[in-house]
Structure formats: structure tokens, C-alpha cells
Amino acid sequence: MLKDFKQYTLTYSIILINVMVYIVSAWLSGNIVDMNLEVLVDMGALYGPYTVQQGEWWRIGTAMFLHGGMTHILMNMFSLYLIGRGAETYFNTKSYLSIYLFSGLLGGLASLYVHPNSVGIGASGAIFGVFGALAGFFLAHKDKIATHTKAFMKDFAIILGINLVLGFSIESIDVSAHIAGLIVGGIGGFLLSKNPKFLVLYNSLMILLIIATILYLPTQYVQITF
């Protein structure tokens, strides 16, 4: 058990942080199965009028660690458990962490763009980013690791199935965040598989994209309001 934790420290640490945040939200909600929406908003859920119109951009970070209920967090953490360990095997810690965080952040911004008045929560965008990174890795090395493709596709099917269930059962889950995370992670996985030194380039591009989106979103919200 300890050996396994040392091997996949980042994956298990992210899972632990999510679980701890969930415990706090459950305590504040007075319910361990379903979280109170007001509690989630107070803890940092995405909500366009607060995030964009009041400039509370920190919510794109905090929302990544909030979940709407027991089903939501269990399925997300199971997905991360499945793919996170693989990513931690193929990528160094800095690359993995960058892909996870940027996928989650840009997934959150995509959600704000598509659903300006909805409450958004969950690690799905970041998790899809990790999955995208693995897809990028396999694409970059497809001629060398063809034997692993079947196992990868099996995990892919499982995770798609999980998120299909979540999409139908949990209102606050947004497919746009999944797609954005997948693309961001795929780009990072491909680049960093080719050369880990591209990390600075990848980080710089993602930061510029975040800044550009943050500057653009208020103008979109003005159009929606009026």
C-alpha cells in the first residue's frame, strides 16, 4: 500500500484533497449524499454572475475540487484512479500537474462560456485532461506501444460510460468542460511526450489562453444581459 502510494503520489494526493473538500462540504450541507447548492456556491463553485461579472476568477480553481454528491465524487475519483496512475507513469510530476490544472481551469472557463447562468462544479474537466494527455502520449508513440492500445481503449470506454451516467443524472455536470479538458490535455500530452522541455511552452500558451478568455468573457456576459 505504501509502495503504491509512493509510486502514484500525485494521483492519490489529488484524490485525497477532493475527498477532504467533499467531507467539509458534506458537513456544511448536513448531508453526506447530496450537497447543498448554496454551500457549494459559498465554497467556490462556478457561477457566471459571481465569477465573471463580479470578478471572482478564483472560482475556476476551487470549483475543480467540489462535487455535488456521493455519486459525483465516487465516479470522478474512480476515473482519476484508473487513468491518473497511467499518466503518472508516462509523465513527470510537473507535466502531469500542469496538464491536470490547466485542463480543469480551461474546462471551467468553457463551462462559463456555454452556461453563463448555471452552477458548475467537479473535477471532470481536469480528469478528461489527464485522459487526453494519455491519448496524446499514445498518438506521439503509436508505432512503439501498439500493444497497450487495447488496455487504453478499455479504460476509455469505462470513463466515457461513467461520464455518460453522470451527464444524465447530475444537472451541474457540463460536457463542454469535458471537451475543453480533453483538448487541453491532448495538446499537452502530445507536446510533452515528444519532449518534456516543451513544458515552458505549453504552460505559456495555456496561461495566455486563460488570460484571453478572462478578458473576453465579460463582453459576452454584457451581451447576454442586454
Find out whether 198 and 192 touch, Cβ atoms under 8 Å: yes
Question: Which entry of 72, 176, 178, 193 is annotated as an active-site residue?
Answer: 178
First CA to last CA across the chain, in angstroms?
57
- pLDDT tens figures, 111-121: 999 888 889 89
What residue type is 63 in one-letter code?
A: A
- pLDDT tens figures, 46-60: 999 999 999 999 999
Q: Is 178 a catalytic residue?
A: yes
For the chain, what is the mean pLDDT? 87
How far is Cα 12 from Cα 85, in angstroms, rounded to an integer? 9
Q: Between the CA of residue 102 and those of 62, 132, 139, 159, 197, what are the distances in Å? A: 13, 12, 20, 20, 17
Q: Structure pTM?
A: 0.89
Quote the domain boundaries for residue 204: 2-225
User: Of 57, 102, 44, which is closest to residue 214 (Cα–Cα)?
Assistant: 57
Q: Quick check: helix, strand or coil at residue 46?
A: strand
Question: Which entry of 79, 111, 124, 193 is annotated as an active-site residue?
Answer: 124
Q: Who's near 177: CB < 8 A, 6+ residues apart?
A: 107, 108, 110, 111, 120, 122, 124, 125, 128
Is 86 a residue whose pLDDT tops 80?
A: yes
Total domains in the fold of the chain: 1
Residue 165 confidence (pLDDT): 66
- For 162-187, what is the mean pLDDT? 76
The cell for 143 is 508505432
Hey, what's the torsion of the CAs at 7, 12, 14, 20, to 10 degrees?
Answer: -150
- What whole-number percentage of the chain has pLDDT above 70? 83
- For 5-23, what is the mean pLDDT? 92
Residue 214 confidence (pLDDT): 95
- For 129-150, what is the mean pLDDT? 77
Find out whether 171 and 178 touch, Cβ atoms under 8 Å: no
Which CATH number do you get for residue 179?
A: 1.20.1540.10
Q: Quick check: helix, strand or coil at residue 164?
A: helix
- pLDDT tens figures, 201-216: 999 999 999 999 999 9
Task: Read off the pLDDT band of 175 (50, 70, 90).
Answer: confident
- For 56-78, what is the mean pLDDT? 93
Is 172 a residue whose pLDDT tops 60?
A: no
